[in-house]
Structure 1
Amino acid sequence: MYTIILPVFLFALSMTITPGPNNMLLTASGARFGYRRTLPLIGGIVLGIVSQLVLSALGLGILFERLPLVKNLLKLFGVLYLLYLAYRIAFTSGKEGRTEKAQRPLNLIEGAGFQYLNPKAYMMSITAMSVYPLEGQLYIPSALLIIGFFIVITPLSISLWAGFGTLLGRVMSSTRYARGVRMLLGGMTAASVVFIVI
């Protein structure tokens, strides 16, 4: 089982630390609300990814192969939701729209739920559970090892993006740059649709 440790580590790191919908949302949330208030979103993303890994170990990839319409619908909803969030990030300042929903980051449940609209998360979990687990009696222990790697690596990787966003938030606190940074973050979030469409 030791043979999969390095490949799984590198796969989990590369999938969670590279740009994508989750990391763009975390950057925007960190900029807007700070790192501490973004922690529930970080937890939700980890929870959603782990639940997808478990479902993938139980055969989620087979479901998508047999029902491609389901996969395409999830992709469409993911794109629309991401574009909605990008709009909210770009055009809602901290002083506008003082409703509770407009003035809070995504919470644990919303972060976990977003993983089910995020095709990059599906691709990551299905690939992890179709390529790396060992066969036979070692399937369950190796699948648990893979899940363990993601439980440790994911929060560390994605926290970097939330931290980066928090630093950007300090720039946003200056009225001179706030609008430009919001537009940049909204644009980056909208651009992350590329990771869904490709």
Structure 2
Amino acid sequence: MSQQLLFAFIVFAIVMFFTPGPNNIMLLASGLNFGFRRTLPHVFGVTVGFAFMVAVTGLGLGAVFTSYPVLHTILKYAGAAYLVYLAFAIGMSGPPNPGDAERRRPMTFFGAALFQWVNVKGWVMVIGTITAYAAIANYPWNILLQVALSLLLGFVSCVTWVLCGTSLQSLVKSPGAVRAFNIVMGLLLLASLYPVLVEL
């Protein structure tokens, strides 16, 4: 095992997991709007969904995208369209109403896990993980190590962003402040599309 490459991969993963992106912005907004406990399925969906994507790509799906680049393009467009929809939904949402508890729900485990497949930042992370850091260990141990580190760092990152959102609950009390916060989160989610739009 290359310890220097492993250290470089950990630094890369920390930077990518903890910097703002679609997952983190949605987790922050969910923490504010729904609280920590109700956002946990979203946290586990992101964590497990991303690690599963690393595993599947590392074990062979990457070759499919190399052979059929149109599939990657389709995912990119679908992901961009879905992020625009989510940004609009977050930006237009107001504070949760006790009477709306059944209508308004945080993202589910499966919804968050499936979202990883259209998350453009997620694909950048997966491709960087699988290609640039493949030599951290022999195959398939390198994939297992990347999946394990993705699970650990992804979970810590998700929980951190949700806690940031829940900590804002005491500061953002008025319906107007919550609406303004959601609008800012929606705009940040749109801004996270900039690298994708440049390539389209």
Cross-structure match for 1:165: 165
Report what 2:144 is aligned to.
144
CA distance in 2, matches of 1:43, 1:18: 18
Shift of 1:96: 10
Distance of 1:83 and 1:170 partners within structure 2: 29
Letter in 2 for 1:98: D
2:100 to 95, 98, 101: 98
Q: Which stretch shifts more, 87-96 or 159-168?
A: 87-96
Q: Distance in 1 between matches of 2:164 and 2:41?
A: 17
What's 2:81 paired with? 80
Match of 1:19? 20
Pairing 1:42-191 to 2, within 5 Å after superposition: 42-93=43-94, 94-95=96-97, 98=100, 100=102, 102-134=103-135, 138-191=138-191
Change over 3 Å in CA distance of 1:197–1:58 after alignment to 2:
farther
Post-superposition offset of 1:154: 0.9
Secondary structure class of the residue paired with 2:72: helix
Secondary structure (helix, strand or coil) at the match of 1:116 reads helix
Partners of 1:179 and 1:86 lie apart in 2 by 13
- Which one is further off, 8-17 or 125-134? 125-134
Task: State the distance in 1 between where 2:27 and 2:176 align.
Answer: 23
Deviations 1:26-58 (A, max 9, x none): 111111111221111110011111111111212
- The AA in structure 1 aligned to 2:117 is Y
Distance in 2, matches of 1:179 and 1:118, equals 25
Structure 1 residue 81 displacement after superposition: 1.3
Shift of 1:82: 1.4
Runs of 4+ in 1 over 4 A off after TM superposition: none
Superposed displacement of residue 5, structure 1: 2.3
**TM-score where L is the length of structure 1:** 0.89
Q: Percent identity?
A: 32
- Cα deviation, residue 195, structure 1: 4.5
Q: Give secondary structure in 1 for the equivalent of 2:135.
A: coil
TM-score with structure 2 length normalisation? Answer: 0.88
Structure 1 residue 61 displacement after superposition = 2.3
State how far apart, in whole Å, the 1-side matches of 2:195 and 2:43 are: 19
Deviation at 1:65, TM superposition (A): 2.2
Aligned-residue RMSD, C-alpha:
2.2
User: What stretches of structure 1 of length at least 5 have no aligned partner?
Assistant: none
- Single out whichever of 106-115 and 3-12 deviates more from structure 2: 3-12
Give the superposition deviation at 1:97.
9.4
Q: Report the secondary structure of 2:138's partner residue.
A: helix
Unaligned runs of 5+ in 2: none
Paired with 1:127 and 1:182, the residues of 2 have a C-alpha distance of 31
